[in-house]
Amino acid sequence: MTHIKSLEQLTSKRDELKSNLSRLDDPNNSEKKVQIKVAMATCGIASGARTTMDFLTAELSKRNIPSVVTQTGCMGYCYAEPTIEVKLPGKEAVIFGYVDTKRADEIIEKYIKTGELTEGVIPRNYDTID
């Protein structure tokens, strides 16, 4: 169990966690993984995001693609739920909309395996703070 006792500890923990993440994202690292986030707010779940997430988790391991599939909150594209974000190691994250299991299968076969974009890409329409 982590118990953080000072701001310094918090910052070093953050940096440690960050470097773990960047290892996943480094295309030259053996630990690299495809990172997928599924928008799982109430609205996403209602549109079938849980089915999509279960499908992605099961299929990616079945097809031997090193990956982490996590849930996340609302991405704001309510009109295109379920939405997922796919980040290939070393590449910009791409957001896909209307991802039912059929499209999820397409995304694995095309975008994740070959890097070729499929239907349903949603351009990121906002700036955020960093």
Partner 1 sequence: METPVNKPKQLRIALRNCGMLDPENIAESIVRDAYQALGKVLKEYSPQECINILKQSGLRGRGGAGFPTGLKWEIASKSKSDQKYVVCNADEGDPGAFMDRSILEGDPHSVLEAMAICGYCIGADKGLIYIRAEYPLAIKRLKIAISQAMEWGLLGKNILGSGFNFEIKLCYGAGAFVCGEETALIHSMEGKRGEPTNKPPFPATSGFMKKPTNVNNVETFANIAPIILKGPEWFSSIGTKNSKGTKVFALAGKINHVGLIEVPMGTSLREIIYEIGGGIKENKKFKAVQTGGPSGGCLTEKHLDTPIDYENLIAAGSMMGSGGMIVMDENDCMVSVAKFYLDFIVGESCGKCTPCRVGNKRLYEILERITQGKGVMKDLDKLKNLSYIIKDTALCGLGQTSPNPVFSTLENFYDEYYEHVVEKKCRAGHCKNLFHYVINEELCVGCAACKRCCPVHAITGEKRKPHYIDSNICIRCNECIEKCSFDAISIQLEPKILV
Binding site for partner 1 (CB under 8 A): 1-7, 9-11, 13-14, 17-18, 21, 37, 39, 41-43, 45, 70-79, 85, 117, 119, 121-129
Quote the least distance from Cβ 5 to partner 1, whole Å.
5
Q: Pick between residue 63 and residue 117 the one whose CB is nearest to partner 1.
A: 117
Q: Pick between residue 21 and residue 58 the one whose CB is nearest to partner 1.
A: 21
| Signed CA dihedral, 61, 120, 21, 38: sign only | negative
Burial class (CB in 10 A: 0-12, 13-18, 19+), 124: middle
What is the spatial distance between Cα 32 and Cα 89, in angstroms, rounded to a whole number? Answer: 6
Q: Pick between residue 45 and residue 65 the one whose CB is nearest to partner 1.
A: 45
Q: Pick between residue 29 and residue 63 the one whose CB is nearest to partner 1.
A: 29
What is the spatial distance between Cα 91 and Cα 30, in angstroms, rounded to a whole number? Answer: 16
Quote the least distance from Cβ 34 to partner 1, whole Å.
16
What is the spatial distance between Cα 87 and Cα 13, in angstroms, rounded to a whole number? Answer: 23
